[in-house]
Chains A and B, each alone.
Chain A
Amino acid sequence: MSELTLTLIKLGFLALLWMFVLAVLSVIRSDLFGAKVDSRAAASAAAPSATARTPQPVKPVKKRKGLPGSVTIADGPQAGVGATLVEEPVVIGRGSDCQIRLDDDYSSTRHSRLFLSEGQWWVEDLGSTNGTYLDGQRVTRPVPAEIGGSIRIGRTTLNIAK
């Protein structure tokens, strides 16, 4: 057996080992770099939802008078699930005692809370791991929740409506 053949076998085996590692990494790449969204599917999904939901174009409506009446999950498999805002506070999170139960790996068990105080609804973060965002701003202390606002928790977006 020549020296060259032995070296080639050696390097070939190492290459094979690394090929396995890379194959595994390519299988789980969505874990490492985030899920890949098919651009066409994304466009078609975004088009109808842009009219149905209340994103940027409708934002001016936000300053409308009146108390918010409901909070609803805007997208994903749980779209439409929500709760009406009456007297009692509404807790959002993954726990079974929450009024709105999210199926979202990135939300905490008791993630955030909406409550009525001083004639106004407020959004409060309950010390969640990944934070609560109201209209893109991280909620660090209770902030007023207004109609048309959107709350982001983990990968879920919730809309506040009348």
Chain B
Amino acid sequence: MSIASTSVIQIIPRTRRGVELFLLLIAVGISVGAYVNIGITAQGGVPASTGLYAAGIGLLALVAHLALRFRAPYADPVILPCAVLLNGLGVAMIHRLDLGLTSVGKTKGVPFAPQQITWTAVGVVLFVAVIIIIRDHRRLQAFTYTLGLVGLVLLVLPLVPGLGVNIHGASIWIRVAGMSFQPGEFAKVCLVIFFAGYLVVKRDVLTLAGRRFLGLDLPRARDLGPILVAWLVSLGVLVFESDLGSSLLFFGLFLFLLYVATERAGWLIIGGLLFAGGAFFAFQTIGHVHKRITDWLDPLAIEGGQIAGGMMGQAWGGILGRGLGQGQPYRTLFSNSDMIISSMAEELGLTGLIAILLVYTLIIERGLRTALGCRDIFGKLIATGLAMSFSLQVFVIVGGVTGLIPLTGLATPFMTLGGTSLVANWAIIALLLRISDQARRPQTPAAPVSDETIAMAVQKQ
């Protein structure tokens, strides 16, 4: 019965670069549309700089597209347009908030939009560099422990006296040559590669040894080492850098990859318990965390609190939003960084917010699909890890802004004002596309079974 239905599906490998170009045109069109829309509603006419803006974002998208066309022709056609759209919308919203902030006289640092466009250009350059330099992601496996060390160093860099700076209660920034960076964003990429390389080697031990208890496969006590180390490191990040978001991100990432590599639900339960314990400890002892949680439980209690402002903005936006340039999102604190999702929701409404979340979901789905199609376990784990880092980040920040969970200072990928996060995200996208190029590329049909003992190719009669 099942023979006929499954037999004739032959998947013909297609590069699909044309589709990507088409989607890129729409994405750039929407970004320029947003810019023009803001000009019409907030500045009273199509801004003179429209041409410049369109040329800039179009050129960057084209450069990224050409890099893929020549260096990774079989890469996924959907990921790049989604990234360009989110980046373009983010820049448009930051520009809109510049106008708003100027109108209420908060001109410190304004305008932010040109700065964000510069960082986008840096991001695209890094994107192209990753695509060109990393020809095969499996090479990265040789640098497993090096990258693990680099990741750890980047994590603790903000604690180095004289280098790290404490901004808004969290010390996750470093200041070099007058510019501040968030090294944690790059630590994330390094650690994903490290986790993947480590688990490729260790997953058999972690999967096979263990006892069954209450229908659950529990690992041996001595195999608990790595998860305890990951837990302690993320707790250390929390205690010394007061950064709830990154701490949650790193531990969550490790836990997800451990689960994916071993297929053992027992790890999730152990990890969940460790997380609950850590969270409770943090709530009891760390003032910064305690404040975040009380702010979450009662957002109206704080004078001029960002959560309350953001939620009022979202409520005012309603289903269809105020329209771009017609709301007042600039009244919320950090409306162009932490709270940019609430600025979007205020002006585009629930309808627009859902579309944005779907675009994020699409990137994550394509990442997981890449993992599914990838032929080597190392690549699978990296793709899963990168996709999960995206989804965790989006969940934590959108959950925080909409009041589902306590607000933490994670960056909204591609949208938040801030260079490091933007550049790191472009690197992540490049790595995902590199793996998907490997996964979708047609295999050379040769491959007669290598094992000489019994196997031999039998010709079909």
The chain A residues found within 8 Å of chain B, CB to CB, are 1, 6-7, 9-11, 13-14, 16-21, 23-25, 27-28, 31, 35, 37, 41-42, 45-46, 49, 52-53, 55-56, 70, 72, 74-84, 86, 88, 90, 94, 96-97, 99-101, 103, 105, 109, 133, 136, 150, 152, 155-157
Contacts and interface: CB of A to CB of B under 8 A. Distances in A.
A72 B458 contact: yes
A84 B359 contact: no
A125 B11 CA distance: 26
Given A13-B34, A20-B85, A77-B443, 9 more contacts: A10-B324, A16-B29, A20-B23, A21-B362, A27-B77, A28-B78, A46-B4, A46-B8, A150-B3
25 contacts: A6-B323, A9-B323, A13-B37, A13-B323, A14-B349, A16-B30, A16-B33, A17-B356, A25-B362, A27-B23, A28-B362, A41-B8, A53-B3, A55-B3, A55-B4, A75-B7, A76-B9, A76-B10, A83-B454, A83-B455, A90-B454, A100-B449, A101-B447, A105-B372, A157-B3
Contacts of B326: 6, 10
A7 B447 contact: no
List 8 A-B pairs, minimum CB-CB distance, nearest first: A10-B323, A80-B460, A82-B458, A17-B355, A99-B455, A45-B8, A75-B7, A83-B455
A9 B37 contact: yes
Interface of B: 1-4, 6-11, 16, 19, 22-23, 26-27, 29-30, 33-34, 37, 40-41, 44, 77-78, 81-82, 85, 320-324, 326, 348-349, 351-352, 355-356, 358-359, 362, 365-366, 369, 372-373, 375, 377, 443, 445, 447-451, 453-461
A152 B3 contact: yes
Given A23-B26, A41-B8, A136-B1, A9 B40 contact: yes
Contact of A13 (B23, B33, B44, B359): B33
A76 B460 CA distance: 12
Contacts of A49: 7-8
Given A9-B37, A157-B6, A88 B453 contact: yes
B355 to A, nearest CB: 4
B9 A37 contact: yes
A43 B372 CA distance: 30
A10 B458 contact: no
Contacts, number: 169
B8 A37 contact: yes
Contacts of B443: 77, 103
Contacts of B3: 53, 55-56, 74, 150, 152, 157
Contacts of B4: 46, 55
Contacts of A21: 355, 358-359, 362
B362 A83 contact: no
B277 to A, nearest CB: 32
B320 A82 contact: no
A7 B19 CA distance: 32
Nearest to A32: B365
A75 B78 CA distance: 30
Contacts of A88: 453-454
Contacts of B358: 21
A84 B8 contact: no
A36 B30 CA distance: 30
Nearest to A17: B355
A112 B288 CA distance: 53
Contact of A105 (B23, B356, B373): B373
Contacts of B349: 14
Given A101-B447, A105-B372, A157-B3, A79 B321 contact: no
B427 to A, nearest CB: 22
Most buried by A among B6, B81, B359, B366: B6
A152 B2 contact: yes
A99 B449 contact: yes
A1 B6 contact: no
Nearest to A49: B7
B369 A84 contact: no
Contact of A27 (B19, B37, B41, B359): B19
Contacts of A55: 3-4
Contacts of A136: 1-2
B415 to A, nearest CB: 14
B88 to A, nearest CB: 11
A99 B7 contact: no
A52 B29 CA distance: 53
Given A20-B23, A157-B7, A96 B454 contact: no
Contacts of A156: 6
A150 B16 CA distance: 35
A103 B441 CA distance: 12
Contacts of A42: 8
B321 to A, nearest CB: 7
Given A14-B320, A17-B348, A77 B457 contact: no
